[in-house]
Amino acid sequence: MTNAILKNKPILLSLLILFICCGSSDDGTPTDETQALEITDEKAVVVSVSVSGGENAYTFSVGIQSPDQGCDQFANWWEVISEDGNLIYRRLLNHSHVNEQPFTRSGGSVNIGSDQVVIVRAHMNSSGYGLVSYKGSAVNGFESFTTDDNFALALEIEQPLSSRCDF
């Protein structure tokens, strides 16, 4: 029996790697290889978006993966913006999530129509906006979306802004 296992060790190892790499996740963690590669040591990325409520009063639950290290480097907000780059809603995050990755935070009331397409993205206090966002609508759902480096950068100084870090 032991000899059979040892003979098949490379096959078993390959299957284990395949299972780990291609397995699904129900917690919003990205399993797509290209999206996972875009998670860096500097930027926060959105890994999930769900919406509840009704037209012009939605609550968003946003999953974020971020390289938080404490108050010097943490995801300090997520926001909902229009396709043309106007701020619709911003959820401030007033502490780091060093030991909670990925994490999900809810916010609202977000004043959008059920079929209005919006972009949800995350921001780091130390490095700005992540490029992996989500795009979609309340009625049709959201999918991973990559924004351009310079998309709606002026929002970074628009109120409300995070002015504190509790821990």
Q: Tokens 């700005």 sit at which residue?
A: 128
Q: Tokens 């490029």 sit at which residue?
A: 131
Q: Parse the chain into domains and list their residue ranges.
A: 29-148
Average the pLDDT over 139-148 and give the result. Answer: 95
Instruction: Read off the pTM.
Output: 0.75
| Measured CA angle at 159 (ends 167, 55), to 5 deg | 100
Residue 146 has pLDDT above 70, yes or no: yes
More confident call, 27 vs 110: 110
Q: What is the mean pLDDT of the chain?
A: 81
Q: What is the spatial order of strands in the sheet that 45-54 belongs to?
A: 45-54, 57-65, 103-110
Q: 118, 79 in Cβ contact below 8 A?
A: no
pLDDT tens-digit profile of 80-139? Answer: 999 999 999 999 998 888 888 899 999 999 999 999 999 999 999 999 999 999 999 999
Closest CA to 139 of 78, 26, 85, 58: 58
Closest CA to 47 of 36, 58, 33: 36
2: left (phi over 0), alpha (psi -120 to 50) or beta: alpha
Q: 61, 49 in Cβ contact below 8 A?
A: yes
The domain made up of 29-148 has a fold known as Immunoglobulin-like (2.60.40)
pLDDT of residue 79: 98
pLDDT category at 41 given cuts 50, 70, 90 is low
Amino acid at 114: S
Residue 150 has pLDDT above 70, yes or no: yes
DSSP string, 132-160: EEEEEETTTEEEEEE--TTTTGGGGGSSS
